[in-house]
């Protein structure tokens, strides 16, 4: 049987500190898989530079130049992790049988890549990398992330618990995923919707090899909120429910006010009046804000803008036509 072509797609944003380490580590993994004849000689690493401001692209293009097993794509500016990854997947699907996506910081254990491939060769189209524990993340990151997965689950969005964007997708799963062409992209929410035969591989998440997180709190919250409103209309329904409830309560309150009035006891109503104005005003603003959020989403979608723009494309689509010099690590 013809050996399968694997591409490992790695989005990088200001990762100059960790790039060499990541490149050598992944290259080692790729070499071993090729040597063990699990994957084709045409397999490669694909680095996507998400508009970095440091020397990341310089390092990627240099690696592309010296190593036929490396490809690179540079986006014209910073588009965000999900879109950078999407750019990589869209390139990779053209010349690969399966693609693994992994972060550049080596927090995800690269030694399970072999297991990913073995599961793929067994016939699985989707292999999820799942963190067995998150000891190395800060307490804050851990609890917020776990809270997020739980909340999403309650809101009816089936996310794989403790799975981020470390996964293998077969060519056909990837091709189907790329048909989801929404602008508000939340890949880990889309993958479970694909169906196909899937499995999980567990690993321990480590600390970042170098550099610092490119996901500060504000970006993380925006990402969580995007994920939530892209997939679930439950928040809107919840607000509508509260609206009905307060409407119902206002009848009871009205009745109470009338009774008080007829009993000639009205001044004391001021406090409750003020409270209700604030309460209802707040509820209204909250509802309008939330509905606006969805309208904003619709606005984004109908514009149908390109999700990313490629400035340089150093994809080595015909790896087999080049002379292979194995760079030993």
Place of tokens 């014209």: 76
Residues whose CB falls within 8 Å of the CB of residue 86, separated by 6 or more in sequence, listed in order: 185, 187, 307, 308
Are 63 and 327 contacting, i.e. CB atoms less than 8 angstroms apart?
no
Instruction: Compute CA 134 distance to the chain's CA centroid, rounded to the nearest angstrom.
Output: 17
- Local structure of 46: helix, strand or coil: strand
Which one of residues 7, 107, 230, 232 is an interface residue with Mg ion (CB under 5 A)?
107
Place of tokens 């293998």: 168
Within residues 2-21, the interface with ligand UDP by CB under 6 A covers 11-13, 15
CB of 213 to Mg ion, least distance (A): 6
Nearer to Mg ion, 220 or 310 (CB): 220
Of residues 90, 41, 38, the one with CA closest to residue 307: 90
Are 170 and 92 contacting, i.e. CB atoms less than 8 angstroms apart?
no
CB of 81 to ligand UDP, least distance (A): 4
From the list Mg ion, ligand UDP, none, which binds 117 (C-beta under 5 to 8 Å, kind-based)?
A: none
From the list ligand UDP, Mg ion, none, which binds 215 (C-beta under 5 to 8 Å, kind-based)?
A: ligand UDP
Nearer to ligand UDP, 107 or 230 (CB): 107
CB of 227 to ligand UDP, least distance (A): 13
Q: Is 109 in the site for ligand UDP (CB under 6 A)?
A: no
Provide the sign of the torsion angle of the four alpha carbons 258, 260, 263, 265, taken in this order: negative
> Which of the stretches 19-27, 103-111, 119-127, 263-271 binds Mg ion when contact is defined by CB under 5 A?
103-111
Provide the token pair at 13: 């944003």
Q: Is 84 in the site for ligand UDP (CB under 6 A)?
A: yes
Within residues 188-227, the interface with ligand UDP by CB under 6 A covers 213-215
Are 4 and 98 contacting, i.e. CB atoms less than 8 angstroms apart?
yes
Q: Which residues bind Mg ion (CB under 5 A)?
A: 103, 105, 107
Q: Which residues bind ligand UDP (CB under 6 A)?
A: 11-13, 15, 50, 78, 80-81, 84, 103-105, 107, 213-215
């Amino acid at each position: 049987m013809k050996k399968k072509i694997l591409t490992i797609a790695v989005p990088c944003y200001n990762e100059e500190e960790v790039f060499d380490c990541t490149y050598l580590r992944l290259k080692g993994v790729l070499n071993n898989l090729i040597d063990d004849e699990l994957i084709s000689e045409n397999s490669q690493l694909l680095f996507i530079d998400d508009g970095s401001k440091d020397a990341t692209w310089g390092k990627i293009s240099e690696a592309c130049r010296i190593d036929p097993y490396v490809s690179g794509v540079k986006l014209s500016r910073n588009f965000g992790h999900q879109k950078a990854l999407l750019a990589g997947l869209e390139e990779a699907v053209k010349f690969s049988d399966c693609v693994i996506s992994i972060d550049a910081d080596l927090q995800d254990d690269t030694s399970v890549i072999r297991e990913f491939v073995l599961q793929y060769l067994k016939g699985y189209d989707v292999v999820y990398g799942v963190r067995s524990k998150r000891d190395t993340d800060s307490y804050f990151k851990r609890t917020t992330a776990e809270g997020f997965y739980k909340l999403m689950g309650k809101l009816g969005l089936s996310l794989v618990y403790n799975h981020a964007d470390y996964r293998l997708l077969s060519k056909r799963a990837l091709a189907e995923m790329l048909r989801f062409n929404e602008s508000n992209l939340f890949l880990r929410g889309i993958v479970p919707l694909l169906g196909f035969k899937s499995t999980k591989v567990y690993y321990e998440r480590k600390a970042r090899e170098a550099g610092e997180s490119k996901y500060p709190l504000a970006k993380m919250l925006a990402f969580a909120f995007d994920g939530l409103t892209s997939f679930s209309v439950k928040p809107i329904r919840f607000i509508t429910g509260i609206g009905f409830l307060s409407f119902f309560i206002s009848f009871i309150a009205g009745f109470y006010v009338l009774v008080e009035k007829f009993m000639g006891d009205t001044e004391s109503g001021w406090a409750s009046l003020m409270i209700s104005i604030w309460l209802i005003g707040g509820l209204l603003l909250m509802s309008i804000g939330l509905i606006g959020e969805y309208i904003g989403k619709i606005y984004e979608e109908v514009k149908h803008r390109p999700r990313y723009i490629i400035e340089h494309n150093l994809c080595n689509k015909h790896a087999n036509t080049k002379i292979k010099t194995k760079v030993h690590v």
